[in-house]
Amino acid sequence: MIDIKQLIEGFRRFRHEHFAEHDTLYQQLVEQGQTPQVLVVACCDSRVDPALVFNCHPGDLFVIRNVANLVPPLEGHSGHHGTTAAIEYGVKKLGVKHIIVLGHAHCGGITALVNSYGVSTPDSYMDDWMSLAEGARKEMEAELHSAEQAVKYRECEMRAILVSLENLKTFPWINERLNDGSLILHGWYFDIGQGELLRYEESSRTFQAA
């Protein structure tokens, strides 16, 4: 377990080693700004760090992290839409070419959703947020009602990725870019137990090992 003192020590090492080694890159990123081609919607889960998993450098990925890597659909302007605002910035301002919804195995948010049977607790931000994946849970239950819990979690984790991909298509500025080919959506699943990456294939409607 890491403590605050270790974070400060870690930063000092980062500054002397990584930052010093990549000083040209950092200078370029400061002078020219960021131009990431890939936007990733990942989970807050401390075990799923997109830059680490994909072996990327600063400036490579525009990363949005929230509980269970969910994308809300197009909604009204009331409230504070953190995920939607970040996607809008990535697409419209930075002009990313790809959006990856990165799900993962052993997701705490999805586990809570599956175990709650869709019952929402009043005053819980978390339950309200996870209700975005309620459609995925219902579909999974309809098909795998008597399956063991581990199978249900995995299936719901994967189906929730597909819900987010569909929700992305509800934004006109995303649809526009999908239609002219300037943007491509991807549904990926990182199995943290096996160290495997699975990618959703539209043609077979299945997740396949990368």
Closest separation between CB of residue 175 and Zn ion, Å? 27
CA–CA separation, 32 and 27 (whole Å): 8
What part of residues 103-122 is at the interface with Zn ion (CB under 5 A)? 107
What part of residues 129-148 is at the interface with Zn ion (CB under 5 A)? none
Beta partners for residue 190, in sequence order? 104, 197
Nearer CB in complex with Zn ion: 64/174: 64
Q: What is the 3-state secondary structure (H, E, C) of 129-185?
A: HHHHHHHHHHHHHHHHCCCCHHHHHHHHHHHHHHHHHHHHCCCHHHHHHHHCCCCEE
Nearer CB in complex with Zn ion: 107/156: 107
Nearer CB in complex with Zn ion: 43/161: 43
CA–CA separation, 76 and 62 (whole Å): 25
Closest separation between CB of residue 125 and Zn ion, Å? 16
The encoded tokens of residue 188 equal 């990926």
Closest separation between CB of residue 178 and Zn ion, Å? 26
What part of residues 36-95 is at the interface with Zn ion (CB under 5 A)? 43, 45
Nearer CB in complex with Zn ion: 105/183: 105
Beta partners for residue 98, in sequence order? 38, 184
Footprint of Zn ion on this chain (CB under 5 A)? 43, 45, 107
